[in-house]
Structure 1
Amino acid sequence: MTHRVSSYVAGQWHTPTGENGLRVTDPTNGEVIALVNAEDVDVDAAVTTARTEGGPALRAMTFHERALLLKKLAKHLAAQADELVGGYTRSGVTVADARIDVDGGTQVLAAYARIGLKEFPADNVLVEDEAQPLIGNPNFVGQIIYTSRPGVALHINAFNFPMWGMLEKLATSFLAGMPSIIKPASQTSHLAEAVFRRIVESGILPEGTVQFIAGHPRGLLDGLGVGDHIAVTGSARTAATLRTHPAVAERGAVLNAEADSVNATILGTDAGRGTDEFALFAKSIVREMTSRSGQKCTAIRRVLVPSQHVDAVVEELTARLGKVVVGDPRTEGVHMGPLVSATQRADVAAAVRELSGGARIVVGGPDAPAAPEGAAEENGFFAPTLLVATDRRHPAVHGVEAFGPVATVIPFDSPQEAAELAALGEGSLVASVVSNDGGFIRDVVRSIAPWHGRVLVLNREIARGATPHGAVLPQLIHGGPGRAGGGEELGGKRGVLHLMQATSVASSANMNVALTDRWNPGADQLDPGVHPFRLYLEDLRLGDTLHTGRRTMTEEDVQHFAEFTGDTFYAHVNEEAAAASPIFEGRVAHGYFILAAAAGLFVDPEPGPVLANFGLENLRFVQPVYFGDEIKLRLTAKHKSMRAGTGWGEVTWNVEVTNQRDEIVATYDLLTINASKNA
């Protein structure tokens, strides 16, 4: 019985009952494997549920709480990875390619869980940098904060990575505090549904925070507007259509598009036959052509080669492509399966014929036999195809994306020309440069960077450890300028902030503390009545301040520190050299001795609520300390937060070290672990 792909809206699964809709077929044997139809899905109910249930639930949680749920979900899905992989082969995908999608999906969830815990606060508002005095008034300060938008994140995904593509958008939206409505591509919606069912059944994510619509429902964007975010992975034509939709053009929904990309790889002039880089270059191209049958937005489409190496590269690629076994992905030994559908095969054939206007086919092509014995007449098999440009600047060579196992070799005569040819793609998601020549790398990468969202540099040093050309990593930006869509996803912390609202807030210094939960130097300093290190986390107030006594910095102390530590830098031990310096007037105290002496002034030695010191941040030595100078300091509680599930929290203390003239000589933030009295 044909599987009917269901949608999940407003806490309920909805399965289509009619016979209308798209019939998804196995591109190997033509068997109908799924029916997709969203005509009766209530989009308004999905949007309302996201706004009234999912959004408030997410915004009530801290970044850390959201991150812990992502971590839990990653573990849950990873435990079912083998079962999920097993469903892919009926969609023309090899087990190896399926594993990339499934493992990539769980890994991006885990990566964003780590990012949320390490780079975001235990709060639901992110405060950027430090409060800055405005117009010279220390009591009037400004700061940028990031808050969750009170809207919905609509994810329109592509067919090629039904799990990874879904989860990478979900991870960033969830961490940003936005509920998601996921619309997978119909051709692989049954695979996305299998993942989503496991998400729902786990009960890990709060109701309304994620919903799923399979098919093409009416009015998908009609209820969206200001505060909403639309992320689309698809063609440039789709992105252009969405940009003109009233939800975006008139009502202010934000659109992030990842679209067409005629990606290039560039071989260095130094990387001729016999070099490690030459072998790495050829291996990378064949892998990108055949992985997922070349159906990747990041796959290599243009192969830019120094003219003197073209024949060698073509010969090497021809030999390697000749070893690729194309066939039913369920058959052992098959390297590459069919394209996702017969329609996709026809589209790729048409694109190759268009490319032939500026290039000649040397391997494969639309008429090359590719389907194995027993394949359905309407199958998706297409032979790996390599072309060589006869006109290196022909518009088709740089403008036509054959979304399949197709690449074109293009010669160049100088690094400058290589960069010019790469730019003819009018904006790409990724390029790779393969060379062991630092000068070539510098010239080419700096020239092509404005045209790309990501550049991979490969040489022999990372031949074994580097990711493939097309690999999308959560720490790096996925997106690109121009025809690539002009958007960006992922990029570590950036991928979350991209979904949040940045707001500049100007206020009095004290109101800034109330808003941000961070003390600033223009705000009041409070008297805790005791040494602040004697206060538990709950009792410590932001602004609680300790003013210490003084310590004289003597020549004997500095000399002892130099001998004891081995830090005999001239400015501390050589009076003549120090006096001749354009910076100093004579010998000075070590900066790290100042820090050690400062600790001696503020540390309360008895066991207590302060359990440990775990670091310093933002350290600056502002001016020298000479022999005979007296230092003192101000220690102020700047920020505090509980670490969930530990019984303790973290406190940031602002430290300002001054001399006998009240001039600042050093500033830094001290980080401590403090006990909670409720532990």
Structure 2
Amino acid sequence: MSLLEISSYAAGDWVKPGAGARNIASAVTGATIASAGNDDLDVQAMLDHARKVGGPALRKLTFHDRARMLKALATELGKHKDALYDLSFHTGATQSDHMIDIDGGIGTMFVFASKGRREMPDGHVYLDGDVEQLSRTGSFLGQHICTPLQGVAVHINAFNFPVWGMLEKLAPTLLAGVPAIVKPATATCYVTELAVKIMLDSGILPEGALQLVSGGIGDMLDRLDCQDVVSFTGSANTALKLRNTPAIVENSVRFVAEQDSLNASILGPDAAPGTPEFDLFIKEVSREMTAKAGQKCTAVRRIIAPEAQVQAVIEALSARLAKVVIGDPRLETTRMGALVSGSQKRDVLEKAALIGTEAKRVFGDPENFAVEGADAEQGAFVPPMLFHCEDPDTAVHVHDTEAFGPVSTVMGYRDLDHAIALANRGQGSLVASVITHDPAVARAVALGSGAFHGRLYFNNRDSMKESTGHGSPLPHMVHGGPGRAGGGEELGGVRGVKHYMQRTAIQGSPDILSAIGDKWVPGGTEIAAPAHPFTRKYSELSIGETLHTAPRTVTINDIEHFAHFTGDTFYAHMDDAAAKRNPFFPGRVAHGYLLLSFAAGLFVQPDEGPVLANTGLDGLRFMKPVSAGDSIKVRLTVKKKTPRNEEYGEVRWHVTLTNQDDELVAEYELLTMNAF
């Protein structure tokens, strides 16, 4: 192939490599395939372009607009997967590895697009939590809101996932309404560049929403302020240097780090050889050692097994690793490709040698292993290497040295407390897994080790057919970890979006909060409905539009008929003496669900109209019992509107039931789907 010139996309223009460019070698052949970098890149112009052009354009869009944008981007990337696969082979990744990186990244964008539409409003303000009553009568209230930061997100990504690593940060950033400058690791930036070109060429993104630095970022971090975010994935040493950039410290720039992690996998004391859990454990560990040639931040580095099972684990794992075919990742027979570069190979071997001072290598000889279809010396190939540490209590390096490749260490534990202590010796990891069929073991590990890990993954015979694996961060769940893992947090659905937003406490009257949040707050101004609200289309309804019904008297015949008709003959409805002995009731009372049925009868409009379906109710509470002879009336208020598609939207109604003395009897939120 001809030498690739990997460009940056800066302030609306593609900038080819220039002064300071460095060559990039194929992980498979060692031959130079590309060059990237330009010391003359105008980083201030990039920041200005993001802040003055990209940010305002994104913030004009609603959360739903941005979610649809993410879906369109993911769809567009999906059309070009083969081109991304073809280029990614040069990183040493196999076709299976591509499914993790490229398909996984695209899938992550789809999830954030879906969550943006389902869990966020079609507006510009995200309401974080419930309204807080700050005064006696409710005329002064508080609410937390989240709004987009008005700066730029600088994403500094690792070499191992040139597509997923970018998209898992980019999706929540764009959904929040913040522009991004992406800086991939130079070793694999040619794959990221293609993905960025696909997205930019689609015309889906507003100008300035996405820029790319292929190579070094110069003094960009020195120019950041309190509205900016740095999200970093890489080594702990690099994270420490970046985190201590004076501008980041002085301006309280948000810094999210995902770094070194000595992840552990624990074989439960119940998972003896011959059990489904033992076989699952061996399968999971083997996969995590060899996927992406062990170049995963979530890979299993420490294998913690009962002392009585250590030898069985070594034998079973060695036998499985022996079947792994190492070679040119384009070959269908290859199960593990190369490390990303020669320098990474040297680093892994150095770290493995350091681990070897405390543990014996029981499988994998880096001086003698077979490689199919490629030259083991020219390419960055290493075999899976398994070590056994006989004394993990006194060992240091096995708990603090991460060989970022197919290297892992087996160690034995005496009892479950010992296993937990060993797992925690990693001083913070992204994930620890426990393979057990005993819920008590899972609970003990969660309580004893949860504080040291960003994610705890439990698996056994019941869940293994559908589980996603120890090493798979999912966009629905947080990805990050304490201590050595960086103390950061990514993904996690809407939680990840909020990293790029400012949480602000707003205080004021119900009308003020209603206006800011575009959601009617009880106590706010009610708008008299010009017609029955169920006869009005979604587009015609206004927030605060209210219907007050006539009252209806509840009789003893109503209560008894409902009891016998439904079979709910609970004593509080049928036995006056027993009901009076109950501290909550004055005597026989109406069923709560009878009141809900009467309420629906009071406010429903029976004719065919724009209300398509009642999809449920939220937050139902009964405040005061209703006895025979009492009357109830209903207030129905449009609280929130959320479009679902071009045909209909969800209307959230605030419903209150009051008695003849205007005392609150029940309260809930009704959800309907209304035609536009």
Tell me the residue number matched to 1:621. Answer: 622
Distance in 2 separating the partners of 1:114 and 1:600:
35
Tell me the residue number matched to 1:153. Answer: 153
Distance in 2 separating the partners of 1:624 and 1:124:
40
Tell me the residue number matched to 1:381. Answer: 381
Cα contact 2:115–2:494 (8 A) shared by 1: yes
Distance in 1 separating the partners of 2:262 and 2:335:
24
- 1:460 paired with 2:461, answer yes
Cα 1:376/1:397, change in 2 over 3 Å: closer
Equivalence map 1:492-571=2 (5 Å): 492-537=493-538, 539-571=540-572
Secondary structure in 2 matching 1:620: strand
Tell me the residue number matched to 1:198. Answer: 198
Secondary structure in 1 matching 2:528: coil
Tell me the residue number matched to 2:274. Answer: 274
Cα contact 1:370–1:381 (8 A) shared by 2: no
Tell me the residue number matched to 2:637. Answer: 636
What is the one-letter code of the residue matched to 2:214? A
Tell me the residue number matched to 2:302. Answer: 302
Number of residue pairs matched?
674
| Residue-by-residue CA offset, 1:145-192 (whole Å, 9 max, x unaligned) | 110110101110111110111111110000000001100000100111
| Residue-by-residue CA offset, 1:194-227 (whole Å, 9 max, x unaligned) | 1111111111111110111100132121321111
Moved more, 586-595 or 519-528: 519-528
Tell me the residue number matched to 1:442. Answer: 443
Secondary structure in 2 matching 1:34: strand
Tell me the residue number matched to 1:315. Answer: 315
Cα contact 1:67–1:175 (8 A) shared by 2: yes
Distance in 2 separating the partners of 1:368 and 1:462:
39
Cα contact 1:371–1:382 (8 A) shared by 2: no
Distance in 2 separating the partners of 1:293 and 1:225:
38
Tell me the residue number matched to 2:428. Answer: 427
Cα 1:543/1:217, change in 2 over 3 Å: closer
Cα contact 1:40–1:217 (8 A) shared by 2: no
| Residue-by-residue CA offset, 1:46-79 (whole Å, 9 max, x unaligned) | 1111111111111000001110111111111112
What is the one-letter code of the residue matched to 1:506? Q
Distance in 2 separating the partners of 1:386 and 1:51:
49
Tell me the residue number matched to 2:257. Answer: 257
How far 1:530 sits from its partner (Å)?
A: 4.1
How far 1:633 sits from its partner (Å)?
A: 2.0
Cα contact 2:390–2:412 (8 A) shared by 1: no
What is the one-letter code of the residue matched to 1:79? K
Secondary structure in 2 matching 1:546: strand
What is the one-letter code of the residue matched to 1:483? R
- 1:94 paired with 2:94, answer yes
Cα 1:597/1:349, change in 2 over 3 Å: same
Secondary structure in 1 matching 2:111: helix
How far 1:653 sits from its partner (Å)?
A: 1.9
Distance in 2 separating the partners of 1:525 and 1:353:
73
Cα 1:351/1:544, change in 2 over 3 Å: same
Equivalence map 1:479-494=2 (5 Å): 479-494=480-495
Cα 1:466/1:609, change in 2 over 3 Å: closer
| Residue-by-residue CA offset, 1:309-354 (whole Å, 9 max, x unaligned) | 1111111111111111112222331111111111111111111111
Cα contact 2:183–2:217 (8 A) shared by 1: no
What is the one-letter code of the residue matched to 2:149? R
Tell me the residue number matched to 2:600. Answer: 599
Tell me the residue number matched to 1:125. Answer: 125
| Residue-by-residue CA offset, 1:584-605 (whole Å, 9 max, x unaligned) | 3433322111111011112233
How far 1:498 sits from its partner (Å)?
A: 1.9
Cα contact 1:352–1:366 (8 A) shared by 2: no
Unaligned runs of 5+ in 2: none
Tell me the residue number matched to 1:404. Answer: 405
What is the one-letter code of the residue matched to 1:93? A
Cα contact 1:16–1:40 (8 A) shared by 2: no
Distance in 1 separating the partners of 2:571 and 2:22:
78
Cα contact 1:143–1:505 (8 A) shared by 2: yes
Distance in 2 separating the partners of 1:95 and 1:673:
44
Tell me the residue number matched to 1:216. Answer: 216
What is the one-letter code of the residue matched to 2:121? P
What is the one-letter code of the residue matched to 1:434? I
Distance in 2 separating the partners of 1:641 and 1:412:
54
- 1:242 paired with 2:235, answer no
How far 1:384 sits from its partner (Å)?
A: 0.6
Tell me the residue number matched to 1:355. Answer: 355
Distance in 1 separating the partners of 2:139 and 2:256:
39
Tell me the residue number matched to 1:473. Answer: 474
How far 1:469 sits from its partner (Å)?
A: 0.6
| Residue-by-residue CA offset, 1:589-641 (whole Å, 9 max, x unaligned) | 22111111011112233444544433212111223222222211222222234
Distance in 2 separating the partners of 1:594 and 1:199:
54
Distance in 1 separating the partners of 2:488 and 2:542:
42
How far 1:230 sits from its partner (Å)?
A: 0.7
Moved more, 653-662 or 500-509: 653-662
Distance in 2 separating the partners of 1:17 and 1:254:
31
Distance in 1 separating the partners of 2:539 and 2:102:
43
Secondary structure in 2 matching 1:398: helix
Distance in 2 separating the partners of 1:360 and 1:157:
34
Secondary structure in 2 matching 1:443: helix
Distance in 2 separating the partners of 1:54 and 1:602:
47
What is the one-letter code of the residue matched to 1:443? A
Identical columns (%): 47
Moved more, 361-370 or 183-192: 361-370
Tell me the residue number matched to 2:585. Answer: 584
Secondary structure in 1 matching 2:140: strand
Tell me the residue number matched to 1:659. Answer: 659
TM-score normalised by length of structure 2: 0.96
How far 1:642 sits from its partner (Å)?
A: 4.5
Unaligned runs of 5+ in 1: none
TM-score normalised by length of structure 1: 0.96
Cα contact 2:18–2:40 (8 A) shared by 1: no
| Residue-by-residue CA offset, 1:522-574 (whole Å, 9 max, x unaligned) | 22333335434444545544333322222222222222223323333443344
Tell me the residue number matched to 1:134. Answer: 134
How far 1:650 sits from its partner (Å)?
A: 3.3
